[in-house]
Amino acid sequence: MANEILIVDDEADIRTQVAGILEDSGYQTRQASNSTEVLDAMAGRQPALIILDVWLGDSEKDGLQTLEVIRRDYPDQQVVMISGHATFDMAVSATKMGAYDFITKPFKSDVLMHTVERALRELHLQEENRELRRRAGPQTEDVIGTSPIMVQLRRSIDQIARTDSRVLIFGPAGSGKSLIARTIHKASPRARGRFVVLNCATLEHDRSDVIFFGLEPRTGKPRGVGVFEKAHGGTLVLEEVGALSPQAQAKIVGLLHDNSFRRLGGSKLIDVNTRVLATTTSDLKAEVDARRFNEDLYYRLNVVPVEVPPLHVRRTDIPGLVRYLMARIAAEKEQVAPALGPEAIDALEAYDWPGNLWELTNVIERLLLTARGAAEDTIEASSIAAAIGEGVRNATRWDHNLQVLNQPLREAREAFEREYMQFHLTRFGGNISRTAEFVGMDRAALHRKLKLLGVNTSEKPEGVGA
């Protein structure tokens, strides 16, 4: 789904020519011949970009006057001016008034396309920068991991991205649900459209209607565009959708049913084509059963469910994630990424990471703050323990509690071996061969030991995700 472009020119032949060039490149277009039609079209739905002629015959306002109204009522609207009688002063006036660029007619197709693509690219960069400022803390930019569970997740993402189905992404806090949503968008036919994110957990409930649907202009105030309209032709992510009020849930059900709505203070029905992805850390089915979440909304959002695993169930991915984050964050800080000693890697894999990727990122930040920045620096396990805190000490040693200390030696040894084997099986994703190699046992002997200790195994196929 491409961005929508509004072409404004009093000559029908020019409009048709420009529309043909844009549509051949996958863009959607609408047309208007005068200022009244422009403003009516925008009242219906705001486009991503307007191509606006300076001279508009039989029009209440000319192009520059229309641009002035657009910039007043739609401050974020991207506009490219065109004219067959352009002067330098006219171009300067248009850019001072907020036009992105000014091109003269007749223009070549490649000049038009280059200008359009630059204008849309800048628009997307502005939106991404706003989104990055809104978020706290860095994230990975790729779905990283070679564990079987992550290999399967990437396959699912590839399949889901090709469809236009709604997706419910669930998993623990910090596991990367928003990253999965962005990855789905980037791999979808809507990748050239806008990617809009709304955090429902921070939404002021008394303003939800304005945020969702927008607001018609009032005296001295421009029109407010809601998130569903902003994401037309693209993707809207409802983060932590379970935090929505019952009233907001009911209103979204109606919008998802009709794909249309009215702005506050308006009577015109606005049609939108927006793909909705939702994320949650809650068990929404349980919330539905407890009558705390709208059942109809749950089934409309949960067309395709995607589960994002916590970090502790894919420990073999941790070294790769650490190296990726270390290199990326070090580059941002203009530092040399230090090496990680073997025991440091063991300590990172051993910790349970209750905060998942967010916590891992914070630990890497702390490690780089204390690193000297020299190429020969190596981070050891003690530095990992200091960066994480007491949690890693509890995770990297067996908890000799009083109950175990009061057992006979043989039973205490069996309890230790059971904990030890269970930990390393989890660490290596249930792979018997890798576990046997690490603990220094023959594969068959390890099978016998596990059976003797009563440790259940569900071995993954050899080589998968390795």
Q: Are residues 237 and 368 in the same domain?
A: no
Rounded Cα distance, 99 and 376, in Å:
52
Residue 142 within any structural domain of the chain? no
Residue 223 within any structural domain of the chain? yes
Q: Are residues 152 and 242 in the same domain?
A: yes
Q: What is the pLDDT of residue 392?
A: 42
For the chain, give the percent of residues with pLDDT over 70: 88
18: domain CATH number is 3.40.50.2300
Q: Are residues 111 and 240 in the same domain?
A: no
Q: Are residues 358 and 212 in the same domain?
A: no
Q: Are residues 163 and 299 in the same domain?
A: yes
Structure tokens at 274: 């927006």
Look up the domain containing 419 and give its range: 402-453
Q: What is the pLDDT of residue 19?
A: 93
Structure tokens at 386: 């200091």
Q: For 88-121, what is each residue's pLDDT tens digit?
A: 778 788 888 888 888 888 888 989 999 999 898 8
Q: Are residues 85 and 112 in the same domain?
A: yes
Closest C-alpha to 169, from 31, 306, 69: 306
pLDDT < 70 positions in the chain: 1-2, 86, 128-141, 219-220, 372-376, 390-407, 427-429, 457-466
Q: What is the pLDDT of residue 223?
A: 76
Q: Are residues 98 and 210 in the same domain?
A: no
Residue 459 within any structural domain of the chain? no
Q: What is the pLDDT of residue 231?
A: 92
Residue 138 within any structural domain of the chain? no
Residue 61 within any structural domain of the chain? yes
Q: Are residues 284 and 152 in the same domain?
A: yes
Q: Are residues 174 and 229 in the same domain?
A: yes
Residue 440 within any structural domain of the chain? yes
Q: For 53-89, what is each residue's pLDDT tens digit?
A: 998 888 999 999 999 889 888 888 899 999 887 677 7
Q: Which of 395, 423, 441 is the last residue of a domain?
A: 395
Q: Are residues 183 and 297 in the same domain?
A: yes
Q: Are residues 445 and 352 in the same domain?
A: no
Q: For 338-350, what is each residue's pLDDT tens digit?
A: 888 888 888 888 8
Q: For 125-162, what is each residue's pLDDT tens digit?
A: 777 666 654 554 444 557 888 899 999 999 999 999 99
pTM of the model: 0.63
Q: Are 237 and 169 in contact (CB under 8 A)?
A: no
Q: Which of 132, 166, 198 is the last residue of a domain?
A: 132
Give the number of domains in the chain. 4
Q: Which of 349, 379, 395 is the last residue of a domain?
A: 395
Residue 426 within any structural domain of the chain? yes
Residue 465 within any structural domain of the chain? no
